[in-house]
């Protein structure tokens, strides 16, 4: 039997599958896949790779659509018009062709999706032929693996970010079952907000140096956004970064330092710090050890880990490398484990951990 875990956020879809024995899960094969979720809405609907394309507008592309599952919101015009349900189905159909026949599937989904939206995603997957076992919140999948690794704490503060927003979740694991005790979404701190802030900062440097705003022309604005996005993804890997902006008869090169980044994001961090302190003060009552589990893309927000550690000061905390432990494939793997456990439970087979509808999870 094969099992698969599918992790979906507003920007991308990730999956991993592997084999499961009769009574135990076997380590997955190297079958991790990742795909940006952004569709070009021209004469023919086609996938694009790279979220800088989202700058083209909702009449040309369908992006960041996951929060609108189960709604009538549309993208595109005329024959190319589509809704979120159809856009997601496009990617699930593509994914379905890449996993073995009769694979048992579980979804890991963002905190902001309602139970109705989660059920709709399961229905779309079932309609195209997937054998869906259930779904759980991605915060639960993130925390479950972190706490399993440490075996020193049952509490976790899981932090995730996508195009819709930044989410904080307090997850407690009891007897191997993750319970989502509290969670909150902050749309004002979504990934695009950080990228746009950096793009505007670079544009201001261009105006200061050569009195030219690179955001005026669409092509240069697109290039600016793309380089800001790449810079965000690589923050922390080196002390400074080179940004090059070019137009006909004009070229400008800039060096962005860590000091520049600190200055750029100071306003966002001040606002985020207030929200973090408020959430932790009112939603996390335990003073036991707390695992700080950050999703992979949060490594691109400089200083966020330090800010979170300050916010939970007074309790012990444990962190792992976002580059290693909390990659998207990690969340997929824990969802895959849930698929196998739910299936074993449904057929009455014994397993190491039984997942019986924990808070933050739904079982088909």
CATH of the domain at 113: 3.30.420.40
Which residues lie below 8 Å from residue 341, measured CB to CB, with a gap of 6+? 25, 351, 353, 354, 355
Mean pLDDT of the chain: 80
Phi, psi of 24 (to 5 degrees): -150, 155
Q: Are strands 2-8 and 104-109 parallel, antiparallel or unpaired?
A: parallel
Report yes or no on 81 lying in a domain: yes
Report yes or no on 173 lying in a domain: no
**Residue span of the structural domain in which 342 resides:** 2-137+335-363
Q: Based on the structure, what is the number of domains in the chain?
A: 1
pLDDT recorded at residue 278 = 85
Kindly report which listed range (51-65, 100-114, 269-283) carries the lowest average pLDDT score: 51-65
- pLDDT class for 328, splitting at 50, 70, 90? confident
Q: Please give the Cα distance from 54 to 129 (Å, whole number).
A: 30
- pLDDT class for 56, splitting at 50, 70, 90? low
Token pair belonging to 311 = 């916010």
134-151 pLDDT, tens per residue?
998 988 888 776 666 656
Report yes or no on 304 lying in a domain: no
Kindly report which listed range (1-5, 124-128, 286-290) carries the lowest average pLDDT score: 286-290
Report yes or no on 104 lying in a domain: yes
Token pair belonging to 185 = 């979404």
User: 3-state SS string over the chain?
Assistant: CEEEEEEECCCEEEEEEEEECCCCECCCCCCCEEEECEEEECCCEEECCCHHHHHHCCCCEEECCHHHCCCCCEECCHHHCEEHHHHHHHHHHHHHCCCCCCCEEEEEECCCCCHHHHHHHHHHHHHCCCEEEEEEEHHHHHHHHHHHHHCCCCEEEEEEECCCCEEEEEEEEECCEEEEEEEEEEHHHCHHHHHHHHHHHHHHHHHHHHCCCCCCCHHHHHHHHHHHHHHHHHCCCCCEEEEEEEECCEEEEEEEEHHHHHHHHHHHHHHHHHHHHHHHHHHCCCCCCEEEEECHHHHHCCCHHHHHHHHCCCCCEEECCCCCCCCHHHHHHHHHHHHHHHHHHHCCCCCCCCCCCCCCEEEC
Token pair belonging to 194 = 């950080």
Report yes or no on 355 lying in a domain: yes
Count the neighbouring beta carbons within 10 Å of the beta carbon of residue 342.
Answer: 25
281-327 pLDDT, tens per residue?
777 766 567 777 777 667 666 677 777 777 665 544 455 443 334 67
b or e along 237-258 (b: 16 or more beta carbons within 10 Å of the residue's beta carbon)?
eeeebebebeeeeeebeeebee
Q: Are strands 104-109 and 166-174 parallel, antiparallel or unpaired?
A: unpaired
Report yes or no on 170 lying in a domain: no
pLDDT recorded at residue 58 = 63
178-224 pLDDT, tens per residue?
788 889 999 999 888 888 999 999 999 888 888 888 888 888 888 88
Q: Does the pLDDT at position 29 exceed 60?
A: no
Q: Could you tell me the pTM of the whole model?
A: 0.83
C-alpha distances in Å from residue 152, one per residue of 169, 331, 355: 19, 20, 21
Token pair belonging to 158 = 């899981």
Report yes or no on 144 lying in a domain: no
Report CA 127 to chain centroid distance, whole Å.
25
280 or 320, greater pLDDT? 280
Q: Please give the Cα distance from 38 to 49 (Å, whole number).
A: 7
* Highest averaged pLDDT of the listed ranges 108-117, 236-245, 249-258, 339-348: 108-117
355 or 108, greater pLDDT? 108
319-322-325 Cα angle (round to 5): 80
Report yes or no on 201 lying in a domain: no
Q: Does the pLDDT at position 350 exceed 60?
A: no
- Tokens 């003073």, located at residue: 287
pLDDT recorded at residue 153 = 63
pLDDT recorded at residue 48 = 79
Phi, psi of 170 (to 5 degrees): -100, 115
């Amino acid at each position: 039997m094969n099992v698969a875990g599918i992790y979906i956020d507003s920007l991308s879809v990730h999956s991993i599958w592997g084999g499961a024995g009769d009574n135990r899960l076997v380590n997955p094969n190297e079958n991790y896949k990742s795909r940006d979720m952004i569709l070009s809405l021209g004469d023919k609907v086609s996938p694009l790779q790279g979220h800088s394309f989202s700058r083209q507008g909702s009449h040309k592309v369908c992006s960041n659509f996951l929060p609108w599952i189960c709604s009538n919101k549309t993208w595109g015009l005329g024959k190319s018009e589509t809704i979120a349900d159809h856009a997601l189905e496009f990617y699930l159909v593509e994914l379905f062709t890449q996993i073995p026949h009769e694979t048992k599937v579980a979804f890991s989904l963002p905190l902001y999706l309602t139970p109705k939206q989660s059920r709709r995603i399961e229905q779309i997957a079932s309609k195209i032929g997937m054998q869906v076992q259930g779904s759980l919140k991605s915060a639960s999948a993130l925390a479950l693996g972190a706490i399993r690794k440490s075996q020193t704490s049952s509490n976790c503060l899981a932090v995730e970010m996508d195009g819709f927003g930044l989410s904080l979740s307090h997850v407690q694991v009891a007897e191997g079952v993750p319970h989502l005790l509290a969670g909150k979404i902050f749309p004002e701190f979504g990934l695009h907000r950080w990228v746009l802030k950096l793009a505007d900062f670079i544009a201001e440097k261009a105006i200061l140096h050569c009195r030219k705003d690179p955001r005026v022309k669409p092509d240069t604005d697109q290039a600016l956004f793309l380089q800001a996005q790449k810079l965000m993804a690589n923050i922390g890997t080196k002390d400074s970064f080179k940004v090059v902006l070019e137009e006909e008869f004009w070229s400008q090169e800039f060096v962005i330092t860590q000091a520049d980044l600190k200055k750029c994001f100071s306003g966002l961090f001040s606002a985020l710090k207030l929200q973090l302190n408020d959430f932790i003060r009112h939603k996390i009552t335990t003073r036991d050890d707390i695992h700080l589990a950050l999703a992979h893309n949060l490594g691109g927000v400089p200083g966020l880990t330090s800010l979170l550690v300050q916010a939970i000061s007074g309790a012990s905390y444990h962190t792992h490398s976002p580059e290693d432990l909390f990659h998207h494939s990690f969340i997929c793997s824990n969802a895959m484990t849930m698929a196998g456990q739910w299936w074993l439970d449904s057929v009455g087979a014994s397993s190491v951990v039984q997942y019986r509808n924990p808070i933050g999870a739904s079982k088909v």
